[in-house]
Amino acid sequence: MYEANFDGLVGPTHNYAGLSLGNVASLSNAASESNPKEAALQGLLKMKALADMGYLQGIIPPLERPDVYTLRKLGFSGTDEEVIQKAAKQAPKVLVACASASSMWTANACTMAPSTDTADRKVHFTPANLANKFHRSIEWPQTAELLKKIFSGEHFVHHAALPQGEHFGDEGAANHTRLAPSYDAKGVHFFVFGRYAFDLSKPAPKRFPARQTREASEAVARLHQLDPQRTVFAQQNPDVIDQGVFHNDVICVGNLNVLFFHEHAFLNKDETLTALKEAWQSETPLHFIEVRDADVSVSDAVATYLFNSQLLARPDGRMLLVCPAECRENPRVAAYLEKLVDSNGPIAEVRIYDVKQSMRNGGGPACLRQRVVLSELERQAVNPACWLTTDSYEALVAWVNKHYRDRLTEADLADPQLLQESRTALDELTQLLKLGSVYPFQKLGA
Ligand code: SUG
């Protein structure tokens, strides 16, 4: 079995719109100028670096944006250009939300379960409904189509997203971690939720929304036919949500037998760790690396995204941590990382990548990827053009350089020309990635 990372390719409309209350970076960079070309190239460079190190690296294409179909549902009519112009005039904030390139954070695309862990031995995917934020709640239908094109055939089961509405708010793999003694072994599914939707007597954040509900996590576990003995549900600490930890993957990351987390990540830490040890059921040691607040405060964790790093297994069995550049720029986090590597523990190495264009919207290296654990047969069934190779990397870089703007402001989103540019780019991308007709404009013949 292999772990593959499927990164979101940043779309041509990448911009800073301040759409995510509770996400500190999104709000503080609202209305600043973005650089979609640089954003896409930064993401591709990180993907290429991992592929060069021997990791299986896949690509999930961007969605069609601006989303004129949603704008039509909201009452804007006429040609696609007219729809955009009317929305820009009458409801500019709605247009901006419908133009977000937020599908780039593919940790939120879905939750997946490998065939080792599901009762029917199939690979399961549930696209996340992202119900808490309007601009993200409109992602899943197109995301589901793309996932079906990438993972098609008898090995894969694609569920619909959970019902919309705040009770079943689901943020996908950003609130889910799989731990396992090896990729071939059965794993523990660790779901971290922000609040209970049907029991308001339970603790909940006071300032910012808790996006993932316990009931949503339980529904995904049921759909994926997971073994209840190997499934753990834990509540995120509501106080850290109120400090900007809008997803658990901003304060915790795990892989194989290592869980790396901040001491304030969970509401009931001791109970949570005990439940994980009970579910583990293996002789292989399970390592908890707990970061003390005295070493890295929650606000430093939010500012640098230390925990939004990719924790990757090296061939020697130890781990590599792929961190965003902000970790090196913060002296306390940089000192902590040095100490971590010197401690001779499970994390042997740290590598730093610059994904600042994404970071300014609150997305680090771990947000940008969806992890998929596959057997050899399942790996062969993946659409081959969706793997990143030296050739496809070069083709994608050329594609970005040809189609993307290097500067985008909120006002530019009202430019109907941007819609045409994006569609031309996506049309060419579907040919590069051999996806056939997948986008609405291709199917509707716009
Ligand atoms: O959902 N930002 C995303 C960031 C998602 C990060 N993903 C994980 N932690 N897995 C969000 O808040 C900001 C868009 C804007 O403001 O323009 C945004 O959607």
Measuring CA to CA, which residue among 419, 414, 420 is closest to residue 93?
414
**Which is the catalytic residue, given 135, 189, 247, 264?**
247
The answer to whether 171 is a known catalytic residue is: yes
Report, in angstroms and rounded to the nearest whole number, the Rg of the chain calculated over CA atoms: 21
Q: To which residue do tokens 């402001």 refer?
A: 409
User: Would you say residue 423 has pLDDT above 80?
Assistant: yes
Confidence (pLDDT) at 413: 97
End-to-end Cα separation, the chain, in angstroms = 42
The answer to whether 247 is a known catalytic residue is: yes
Token pair for 45:
């460079």
Confidence (pLDDT) at 370: 98
Confidence (pLDDT) at 445: 76
212 lines ligand 1 (CB under 6 A): no
18 lines ligand 1 (CB under 6 A): yes
User: Would you say residue 284 has pLDDT above 80?
Assistant: yes
171 lines ligand 1 (CB under 6 A): no
The answer to whether 176 is a known catalytic residue is: no
State which of 5, 367, 368, 409 you would mutate to test the pocket of ligand 1, scoring each by most atoms of that ligand within 8 A of its C-beta: 367
What is the mean pLDDT of the segment spanning 149-158? 98
Output the residue whose Cα is nearest ligand 1's atom 7. Answer: 367
Q: E strands along 236-383, which residues? A: 252-255, 258-262, 287-291, 310-313, 319-324, 347-353, 369-374
42 lines ligand 1 (CB under 6 A): no
State which of 7, 15, 16, 105 you would mutate to test the pocket of ligand 1, scoring each by most atoms of that ligand within 8 A of its C-beta: 105
How does pLDDT run across 193-230, given as a tens digit for each residue?
999 999 999 999 999 999 999 999 999 999 999 999 99
365 lines ligand 1 (CB under 6 A): no
Centre of ligand 1 from the C-alpha of residue 276, in Å: 28
**Which is the catalytic residue, given 98, 110, 252, 367?**
367
364 lines ligand 1 (CB under 6 A): no
23 lines ligand 1 (CB under 6 A): yes
Confidence (pLDDT) at 223: 99
Q: What does pLDDT average to over the chain?
A: 97
Centre of ligand 1 from the C-alpha of residue 79, in Å: 30
User: Would you say residue 14 has pLDDT above 60?
Assistant: yes
Q: What angle do CA 139, 143, 147 make, to 5 degrees?
A: 165
Strands 56-60 and 310-313: unpaired
Would you place residue 446 in the very low, low, confident or very high pLDDT band (cuts 50, 70, 90)? low
What is the mean pLDDT of the segment spanning 335-349? 98
CA distances from 309 to 27, 249, 274, 321, 383 (A): 22, 9, 24, 6, 27
Measuring CA to CA, which residue among 184, 189, 219 is closest to residue 279?
189
How does pLDDT run across 296-332, given as a tens digit for each residue?
999 999 999 999 999 999 999 999 999 999 999 999 9
Centre of ligand 1 from the C-alpha of residue 247, in Å: 10
Prior bond to 66 cis, omega within 30? Answer: yes
